[in-house]
A and B are shown apart, each in its own frame.
Chain A
Amino acid sequence: MDRSGTLLGSGFRFLTGALLITWLVLPLIPLAIWSFAKGWFYPSLLPKVWSLRAWEYAFSDTSGVLDSLWLTVGISLAATVLSILVGVPAGRALGMYQFKGKSFIEMLILAPMIVLGIAVVLGIHSIFISMGLTNSVSGVILVHLIPTIPYMVLVMAGIFANYDPAFELQARSLGASPMKTFWYVTLPAIMPGIIVGGLFAFLVSWSQYILTLLIGGGRVVTLPLLLFNFATSGRNDITGAIGMIYILPGVIILILTAKHLSGRSGAVGGFGQI
């Protein structure tokens, strides 16, 4: 029984691994090849002439890729920090306390994960216009909080559900002020959640297209917008190079968080908790 179970388990693991590679890694290979190709046409299996032209262009001043890269990094970092500032107290409230209307608030917080941005972006757009928040970086950062906050709150709710607040009472009783208690006791305990939730928030913000396009009014050109411009203009080699730059943070983050995402860590417990 045990043996067949293990066999079944390893077979299943192999299958999911193979599917993951098929869907996630294989599509990237042509992209990578294109970024080094000088023309690549049917029916040749590989490009006839290799070139660094696309990469040179991507890193040149004229392409605007680097400016866009730093702008995107800045927006995503800002959205991440703000998500943390909202997500930590919200996650604490949802993970640790019972209160009236809790399930309604949970639903409201989860809603942006269920309702796609494209469905509501026009409504958001008109509200942002009336508040004068369109066409600006700050408006884009603000609108990115709509999809990033739910991830942060979910992760932190999971962390706080497994957190014993008596540690804070103990610290107070040993002479720590509320600020020092947070700094020395609460923060180290919830750090794994802040890291994982923060990386999620960063990636979610990093990959926003529609919200950035509408709220930024085309003036805030983040990397996905730039990528889309090149993709539609038929420059496959440059699209490939920018695409490679674009997926880099995702790969780095996946490597960094792999151990926290095993399911044993409290950091991802929130997904089961709410």
Chain B
Amino acid sequence: MAQGIRAYFGHITDVVTTFWEGLSVTLSYMLRRPITVQYPDRVEKRVADTLPPRYRGILEVDTAVCTGCMACERACPIGVIKISTDKDPGNPKQRVITQFDIDVGKCMFCGLCVEPCPTGAIAHTREFEATRKHVDSLVFRWVPDPAKPVPFYRPVKGQDAPRAPVGEILRRCLAAASWIERPSFLPEERKP
């Protein structure tokens, strides 16, 4: 009987002490800063710039240092990359890239294409925002015009390829092709 009474009042004390503790914890969290990042518009820095440097975002190709070895095309397990080469009509010894397409809509960001690249021409950026109205527009053409092909790069021994800083080219292209300002009656953009 006495035990029962002690248990009864023990429950009441339990309720009071646990309420005290729990309410204090929740109130204390209410007074702290929420950790939510208000992506996309209320951020102090671009979210892409806050990501870790080895983040595997959208692929970028610096065609100026591309050797045309097609190692990336072979490495891709799902055929995202499509490269065509040709002889330069003006200079038969020089081979040129006429097409370098990456279908970002299919890409799974595995990074297998980046590893065999001898010059680092193909690389993952930290960009991840490339919304388009049509999935076809997600095919990024790194050689925009087949009529203006890009010559192969010849690596120089003992010297790193002069690769543009990773992400810069892609960011420029994305900004140029942002579809919000682009009226829908215009033809779809060819550039990436």
Q: Do the two shown chains form a genuine complex with each other?
A: no
Q: Interface on A for B, CB 8 Å cutoff?
A: none
